[in-house]
Amino acid sequence: MTKLLQVSGLCKAFGGVVVADKIDFSLSAGAMHCLIGPNGAGKSSFFRLLLGEHAPDAGTITFDGDDITHLRSFQRIRRGISVKFQVPGIFKALSVRQNLEVAFQSHLSGSQLEQTIHEMLEFTELSHVVATPAGVLSHGQQQWLEIAMAVGVEPKLLLLDEPTAGMSPDETRKTGDMLNELNNRGITILAVEHDMAFVEQISKRVTVLHFGSIFAEGTIAEIVDHMGVQEIYLGTVDDG
């Protein structure tokens, strides 16, 4: 399969804190992949590097055949990278519909905009709350609204930072079904996640980050059985 994303030798440090340590990572077009690792491993920083919110100290990022290492965030978004961070990036005082309009208006207008809003409302089962202020939606609904905002622009790569954090088991399963459907529609997905049952629902392969570098990569069964991975979660492996 062609590589949609290719990261080579990516390095970033904030003072003495190394958040990316010679990361080599790639994703094939159509992949659904999970990134795990203990708190502070560098998962969110990796997303911020991919999105252009942090400039790397070294290394390259190639996306869809082009070197995007020095592009600004909006240029990467325009090329098809979309992200949903942990904290919902919705406008709480605006209605569900207004949030979708804000997210899509730079890409779409007229009947196309209406069609996409309609499709996303159906997809995320938010049609019945279309006029409701986003701030009064349930936690799960807020997360789904943000997923709708991120995918309505038809990204090639969707980055999700802990999409199920704070969700009930039912909401988590529903989110997994949603992501599987988006992946079936052709969107490549990279998700940071802690809930291994959810990882198993959506992904076949997992990468483990630890102290900003790739510690292990494999199938879920391989990662779950990996002694070293168990130890880093228990805090018995250091970076020396």
Ligand X SMILES: Nc1ncnc2c1ncn2[C@@H]1O[C@H](COP(=O)(O)OP(=O)(O)OP(=O)(O)O)[C@@H](O)[C@H]1O
Q: Which residues bind ligand X (CB under 6 A)?
A: 14, 17, 19, 37, 39-45
C-beta closer to ligand X: residue 43 or 84: 43
Task: Report the distance separating Cα 170 and Cα 174, nearest Å.
Answer: 6
C-beta closer to ligand X: residue 43 or 76: 43
The distance of closest approach from Cβ of residue 199 to ligand X in the complex, given in angstroms and rounded to an integer, is: 14
The distance of closest approach from Cβ of residue 44 to ligand X in the complex, given in angstroms and rounded to an integer, is: 3
The distance of closest approach from Cβ of residue 119 to ligand X in the complex, given in angstroms and rounded to an integer, is: 31
The distance of closest approach from Cβ of residue 212 to ligand X in the complex, given in angstroms and rounded to an integer, is: 7
C-beta closer to ligand X: residue 97 or 226: 226
Edge-to-edge strands, sheet with 66-67: 17-28, 3-14, 58-63, 66-67
The distance of closest approach from Cβ of residue 39 to ligand X in the complex, given in angstroms and rounded to an integer, is: 4
C-beta closer to ligand X: residue 40 or 59: 40
* Alpha-carbon 99 to chain mean position: 19
Residue positions counted in the chain: 240
Q: Are 175 and 84 in contact (CB under 8 A)?
A: no
C-beta closer to ligand X: residue 17 or 93: 17
* Residue with the two structure tokens 């789904």: 144
Task: Report the distance separating Cα 106 and Cα 139, nearest Å.
Answer: 27
* Alpha-carbon 92 to chain mean position: 21
